Amino acid sequence: MAADKNLHIVIFPWLAFGHMIPYLELCKLIAQKGHRVSFVSTPRNIDRLPKLPPHLSPFLRFVGIPLPQVENLPPNAEATTDVPYDVVQYLKKAYDDLKQPLADFLRTTDADWVLYDFASYWLGQEIGPSLGIKTAFFSIFTPECLGFFGPMSGDKRTKPEDFTVPPEWVPFPTTVAYRYFEIKKIFDSVAGNITGVSDLERLKMSAHYSDIVAVRACPEFNQEWIEVLGDICSKTVFPIGQLPTSEYDSGDENPAWQPIKQWLDQQPKGLVVYVAFGSEAKPNQHELTEIALGLEKSELPFFWVLRTRRGPSDPDPIELPDGFEERTKGRGVVCTTWAPQLKILGHESVGGILTHAGWSSVVEAVQSEKGLILLTFLADQGTNARVLEEKKMGYSVPRSEVDGSFTSDSVAESLNLVVVKDEGKIYRDTIKEMKDLFVNKERNDGLIDQFLGYLKMHRNENKNSQDIEV
């Protein structure tokens, strides 16, 4: 019977590490159940992904498809981390040009399902139906984010102000919305870019044209939003867990970790602030200066993973204030290369993380029971921050509603509130309470089993192998 046969699932994430890593975590969970997975991306991105445990290699293979050349996209730029924010639109154009090579690859496979990201709406709209392959939109964005952005049609919001209040289709009280400065900064996601299809349109079409929607969520944490999403999409929505990061320890200790561990071992327990804003968020020079001076004023020890530019073509590198590293020597470390985030967060000297509220970093903080101090920059980070504020899991650095500016004093006070003060104990305690929801292996296994059970029952046995031009 078809339902007894193991699946072959093709996975195609957007070209951002904040997307590729959770997709890879899902791949590992599927492969552990004995199903075959093909992870499709560009060669350079595949080379930069974490190494896999050897026992999964028979089930999980990487498929590299070269990224087409596009004008205004620098050579070797294959992920959002490689280019400044305004160049990402050209990366999307190159990604759209992967349509034909991806269709050619799929035609040669026995794929039962394709799981695709928000940027590749055309997989659900054209390629899947043409080849007789079932499609699932797997959103690394939370149900709150997807629910906030709403249905394919009937959304009358056109101005930034419209996105600063909860939408009319959410039937319960909530604060989940963007602050004015957050939506203003990313309004090109609504207004459009050189590809002719805005990010918001891509997101809505990805959900609309898919056979089902899978979302990074668990019912005990955000059930009411999962229901909103089901109503909006009018199709089955599968929460598949928070996909906590799993590290493969090959026995070869990463050389970067030893000196970091030695420094952390010498710090007071629970007082170090870990500072990291993900692979995409880059503060401007004024913001960087206020963050640095805030860390200095806080008098707390800190470990800061600082990206001074987005790729070699970034024309605006940022710099630390004069004398900052000398004045904080011994108390603080600024790391401008890759750092093992999960290991750092897991160290007992770390008490909190100053973060952009990217959901993978949030999940890793919950895994390690570390308090969250929030400073949003891009994308879904605004809606994520509202969820964390609502649930008393995180505290946002106070900022101007108009331009998002903040002071070094507000940074210092926020850090001390969450990491040290009695008034911030609620944030530290709530994170610990949430850990079981986020990293409960038995519960997460059950969600994956339900999802895979559906995929097995509803695979298409009558695939169409006709030629397809897209």
Task: Flag whether 52 is in a domain.
Answer: yes
**How far apart, in whole angstroms, are the C-alpha atoms of residue 206 and residue 118?**
6
Encode 363-402: b = buried (16+ Cβ within 10 Å), e = exposed: bbbbbbbbbbbbbbbbbbbbbbbbbbbeeebbbbbebeee
Taking the chain (470 residues) in runs of 10, the rounded mean pLDDT of each run is 78 96 96 96 96 92 96 94 93 97 96 96 96 96 94 89 95 96 90 90 94 95 94 93 80 76 95 92 92 97 92 88 93 91 95 95 95 94 96 96 95 97 96 92 94 92 51
Domain co-membership, 352 together with 448: no
Is residue 254 a contact partner of residue 56, using CB atoms and an 8 Å limit?
Answer: no
Domain co-membership, 269 together with 150: no
Domain co-membership, 240 together with 362: no
Task: Flag whether 446 is in a domain.
Answer: yes
Which 8-state DSSP code applies to residue 241? B
Task: Flag whether 196 is in a domain.
Answer: yes
Question: Residue 455: CB partners within 8 Å, gap ≥ 6?
Answer: 7, 9, 112, 113, 134, 136
Domain co-membership, 234 together with 329: no
Domain co-membership, 422 together with 282: yes
Is residue 353 a contact partner of residue 371, using CB atoms and an 8 Å limit?
Answer: yes
In this structure, the number of other CB atoms found within 10 A of the CB of residue 164 comes to 18
Pairing mode, strands 113-116 and 60-64: unpaired
The CATH number assigned to the domain holding 317 equals: 3.40.50.2000
Domain co-membership, 225 together with 312: no
**Two structure tokens written together for 365:** 């903080």
The predicted model scores a pTM of 0.93
Task: Flag whether 469 is in a domain.
Answer: no
pLDDT at 1: 42
pLDDT at 3: 55
**How far apart, in whole angstroms, are the C-alpha atoms of residue 268 and residue 380?**
34
pLDDT at 467: 46
Task: Look at residues 110, 94, 118, 104 and name the one whose alpha carbon lies nearest to residue 44.
Answer: 94
Domain co-membership, 201 together with 316: no
**Two structure tokens written together for 127:** 């390629």
Task: Flag whether 20 is in a domain.
Answer: yes
Cα 468–469–470 angle (5° rounding)? 115
pLDDT at 166: 95
Strand order in the sheet with 350-355: 332-335, 302-305, 272-276, 350-355, 371-374, 394-396
Domain co-membership, 431 together with 451: no
Domain co-membership, 370 together with 229: no
- Residue 79, CA distances (Å) to 114, 243, 309, 445 in order: 21, 21, 14, 30
**How far apart, in whole angstroms, are the C-alpha atoms of residue 83 and residue 164?**
29
Domain co-membership, 333 together with 241: no
**How far apart, in whole angstroms, are the C-alpha atoms of residue 157 and residue 446?**
38
**How far apart, in whole angstroms, are the C-alpha atoms of residue 407 and residue 306?**
19
**Two structure tokens written together for 171:** 């039937």
pLDDT at 250: 52
pLDDT at 465: 47
pLDDT at 466: 47
pLDDT at 69: 94
Task: Flag whether 407 is in a domain.
Answer: yes
Strand order in the sheet with 113-116: 60-64, 36-41, 8-12, 113-116, 134-139, 212-215, 237-239
**How far apart, in whole angstroms, are the C-alpha atoms of residue 118 and residue 198?**
11
In this structure, the number of other CB atoms found within 10 A of the CB of residue 20 comes to 24
Domain co-membership, 427 together with 447: no
Helices assigned H by DSSP within 210-305: 219-233, 257-265, 285-298
- Residue 56, CA distances (Å) to 17, 44, 214, 461 in order: 21, 21, 23, 26
Encode 183-221: b = buried (16+ Cβ within 10 Å), e = exposed: bbbbbebbeebebebbbbbbbbbbbbbbbbbbbbbbeeb
Provide the residue range defining the domain that includes 417: 257-436
Is residue 391 a contact partner of residue 430, using CB atoms and an 8 Å limit?
Answer: yes
Domain co-membership, 272 together with 179: no
- Counting the structural domains of the chain, the total is 2
pLDDT at 267: 96
Task: Flag whether 467 is in a domain.
Answer: no
Task: Look at residues 272, 292, 294 and name the one whose alpha carbon lies nearest to residue 352.
Answer: 272
**Residue whose pair of structure tokens reads 């987005």 in the numeric block:** 310
3-state secondary structure of 154: coil
Q: What H or E segment, with its residue span, contains residue 354?
A: strand 350-355
Is residue 302 a contact partner of residue 293, using CB atoms and an 8 Å limit?
Answer: no
Beta strands in 81-168 (DSSP E): 113-116, 134-139
Task: Flag whether 159 is in a domain.
Answer: yes
**Two structure tokens written together for 176:** 């989940």
Please give the backbone phi and psi of residue 192, each rounded to the nearest 5 degrees, phi first: 120, 175
